[in-house]
Amino acid sequence: MKKSNNLFKNKSIEKKVRSKRFWRTKRKPRPPHVKERLGREKNTLFMPESIGLHQSRDETLRIVSRIRGMADTEAGTLVLDFTRTTRVIADGMILVLAAIDMVVNKTKRTCVRIKNVRSDKVAQVIKQIGLSEKLGVLKDVTVNRNDVNFWHHVSRSEVDAESAADHFDRLCRETPMSEDDRWFLFNAFSEAIDNAHSHAYDSRMISEIGAEGSFPDDKRWWMFSGVDAGYLIVLVCDLGLGIPTTVTRKGWWEPVREKILARFGAEDEGKIVAATIEHARSRTGESYRGKGMSRLKMAIEQMGRGRLLIYSNKGCYSFGPEGEKTGVPSVETTKDYSASINGTVVFWQVPIQSIAA
């Protein structure tokens, strides 16, 4: 008698057992409160241990990119978890502040939240730069650290010479300085702010590259500033086109491009920033980026102290003494990173006595 290979008398059961779907583990449906919690966690970003544009650059820029992406959403909240963060560098924190400020202004709602700030210093920084007030957090924090409370923050959508002068006077009020020194430094101070406002958000260029809607609606710029240990420290940030994008579309770029390539050896973005400053030194009475930065470079050369650091898109330009040395010739270096900051951050550290001597 022929043996049957069919173990199933019921064809429907056989079909069900042979189906791959039958052998899959069937998960129990999640309760509603668990679904809600998991949904919130998907929109939670864990901030890096250090926030900055040199250390932890890729992690910092990933966070900034996600924050800026919230400008295109109509609902939802992005939660920034500061559990691991113990160190914040001013150049990275001003970029985080600018991104949060931009999306809150665009969306007209508090679409970013902060939680789990464990470090007392980080909490004081968040309070000092105005983030706690904007997001309604850390209201009970007292700022009492000397390495935090000297910072002042400003964010505006216009350049007002009178208000810039008032802010500059408040910073340097208690610092003995000659009128020549004060005028020299204020010119650089005000020109760099004007560069951030006037050139970073060039409407014609934005239209040419089809990037409308990618930038702050009000051409806003951000500034940290303070006087510490005999130095005026200023950071200016914009979320605009970036120096490498704007200057290569200017009328002066092509005629001098070959000279720049011969001088700097390549057309990397860091070298384009260096070329902009170099070009600014030989031009007067024209509107271009680099004018104020060139003045700050001159001050550092004369004093043998101070530092100028510019991050713009993928490029980085640095000018100052090597390491922490003073009284030695300043060194000019450039570098290109793989990721863009999609904007510009300028850091100045300038001695505030005998600048124009």
Q: Which residue stretches of the chain have pLDDT < 50?
A: 33-39, 282-289, 356-357
The per-residue pLDDT for 38 is 42
C-alpha–C-alpha distance, residues 35 and 16, integer Å = 31
Sheet holding 307-312, edge to edge: 152-156, 221-228, 231-238, 344-351, 307-312, 315-320, 331-336
Same-domain pairing of 201 and 300: yes
3-state secondary structure 123-176: HHHHHHCCHHHHHCCCCCCCCCCCCCCCCEEEEECCCCHHHHHHHHHHHHCCCC
The per-residue pLDDT for 18 is 60
Residue 183 counted as domain residue? yes
C-alpha atoms less than 13 angstroms from C-alpha of 173 in its C-beta half-sphere: 6
The total number of structural domains that make up the chain: 2
Same-domain pairing of 322 and 194: yes
Same-domain pairing of 249 and 308: yes
Task: Examine the fold and report which residue of 123, 149, 175 is the final residue of a domain before the chain moves on.
Answer: 149
Q: What is the pLDDT of residues 285-333, one digit of tens each?
A: 444 445 567 777 887 887 778 899 999 999 999 998 776 655 667 889 9
Residue 339 counted as domain residue? yes
The per-residue pLDDT for 329 is 74
Same-domain pairing of 170 and 144: no
Same-domain pairing of 162 and 145: no
Average pLDDT over all residues of the chain: 80
Same-domain pairing of 180 and 314: yes
Residue 247 counted as domain residue? yes
Q: Are 290 and 199 in contact (CB under 8 A)?
A: no
The per-residue pLDDT for 285 is 45
C-alpha–C-alpha distance, residues 64 and 91, integer Å = 13
DSSP lists the bridge partners of residue 66 as none
The per-residue pLDDT for 324 is 60
The per-residue pLDDT for 263 is 72
Q: Can you give the CATH number for the domain in which 144 is found?
A: 3.30.750
Same-domain pairing of 129 and 251: no
Domain limits at 133? 36-149
- Say whether pTM exceeds 0.75: yes
Task: Examine the fold and report which residue of 126, 149, 172 is the final residue of a domain before the chain moves on.
Answer: 149
Task: Examine the fold and report which residue of 121, 149, 177 is the final residue of a domain before the chain moves on.
Answer: 149
Same-domain pairing of 338 and 244: yes
